[in-house]
Amino acid sequence: MRLFIIVFAVMLSACASSGHELSKEKPKDDPYADSTLNSIKAGQDIQIERQMRRGY
């Protein structure tokens, strides 16, 4: 019975502490931030914005 209480306490403390560690981590950087696809999308967005300004 004592072993069960100890194991339960350890599991409870492990679960309670893991949530704080996840929230402290900074979001991972996008490995594809400078990819060709993103640069094409950025160019398309610029072109759409220019067309909206011109009134096309």
- Angle (nearest 5°) at CA 32 between 44 and 23: 115
Residues 2-56 have pLDDT tens digits of: 888 888 888 877 766 555 555 567 778 877 778 888 899 999 999 999 999 987 6
The answer to whether the CB of 32 falls within 8 A of the CB of 38 is yes
Q: What is the pLDDT of residue 50?
A: 94
pLDDT for the residue numbered 25:
73
Q: Per this entry, what is the length of the chain? A: 56
